[in-house]
Amino acid sequence: ARIAVLISGEGRNLQALIEACAAQRIDGEIVLVLSNRAQARGLLRAQQAGIATATLAHRDYASREDFDAAMLRVLAEARPDFVVLAGFMRILTPAFIRAYAGRLLNIHPSLLPRHPGLNTHQAVIDAGETEHGATVHFVTEELDGGPRIIQGQFKRRIEDDAEALAERVMQEVELKIYPQAVAWMARGELTMADDGRVSLRGKM
């Protein structure tokens, strides 16, 4: 499968996907890493792995629609089978989401439907919750609200502050569940129907 990854920053999820492709745990190739920030460290990770990169600075565009249209053009040249959001910190327009309906994955650092949006780790502390984790889901027009694919969770320790939780979500959950979901997708085993129903061939 041909995979495109959208990033904005550090790119640790991207790194896990690069390694899973190299180890053939994902039957696919990352054909493009696209960032909205030129300084994103994930771009260097991609370049070190010999993966094509592109940067489109959202500030160079007059509107979200224009920015997304530019991203769609760059993506179209890379001909991805599906697109993976890995710490991509821009909200996508309906036009973009429709162009990749059923072919667009995101990872979110909470146990959705709890805590969509930003600052999820502090939100978990403030709500006094004892479980935390991350969710991979298909992207739909509802922010962080698309059909869920896989979640991983852990028990919050009393001493875990927001920073510690962020680290645990990444290390204990995200770096494991995202390569798994992308592997299913690359094998064509994971689909989202028009009514939003997720099916995982042979496993669900």
As measured in angstroms, the least distance from the Cβ of 135 to ligand GRF is 9
Q: Does 13 carry a binding-site annotation?
A: no
Closer to ligand GRF by Cβ: residue 7 or 43: 7
Applying CB under 6 A, does 173 fall inside the site for ligand GRF? no
Q: Does 11 bind ligand GRF (CB under 6 A)?
A: yes
Cβ(90)–Cβ(8) under 8 Å? yes
Sign of CA dihedral 57, 59, 60, 66: positive
170 binds ligand GRF (CB under 6 A): yes
Q: Please say which residue, 149 or 169, places its beta carbon nearer to ligand GRF.
A: 169
121 included as an active-site residue: no
- Count of CB atoms within 10 A of residue 4's CB? 25
Rg (C-alpha) for the chain, rounded Å, is 16
Cβ-closest position to ligand GRF? 87
The smaller minimum CB distance to ligand GRF, of residues 80 and 152, is found at 152
Contacts (Cβ under 8 Å, ≥6 apart) of 110: 116, 120, 123, 124, 132, 133, 134, 135
Nearest to 74 by CA among 1, 4, 140: 4
Of residues 148, 123, 125, the one with CA closest to residue 138: 148
Q: Confirm whether residue 185 is marked as ligand binding.
A: no
* Residue 107 binds ligand GRF, judged by CB under 6 A: yes
Residues 174-193 that bind ligand GRF (CB under 6 A): 174
Residue 46 as a binder of ligand GRF (CB under 6 A): the answer is no
152: contact with ligand GRF by CB under 6 A: no
